Structure 1
């Protein structure tokens, strides 16, 4: 079931928030950009993984 809510995803009490990305290595707009600003170490790891050219690899951060 999906529940739509208004507000700021970064203020949630949920234990996990998900940043959906691609293999380009940019995160230059929208919510991806906000994740980039708030979690610079996540962005650095994302860029590193994109340069490995292995789209089947999954990386989960905390």
Structure 2
């Protein structure tokens, strides 16, 4: 719930005292040809390789 609130820029008091350190945006890509695809795809339509996920910290 706190992750959704952070994305919507709503202030929330953390119950554990730790809070959220960073938010992440995930991308799905092919490690063979380097193209990026939608997160719903599991296999590269160009070369047939299994897709991998990586993230970028957004805040």
TM-score, length-scaled by structure 1: 0.24
Structure with higher strand content: 2
The structure showing larger relative contact order (alpha-carbon pairs under 8 Å, at least 6 residues apart) is: 2
Structure with higher helix content: 1
The structure with the larger Rg is 2
TM-score, length-scaled by structure 2: 0.24
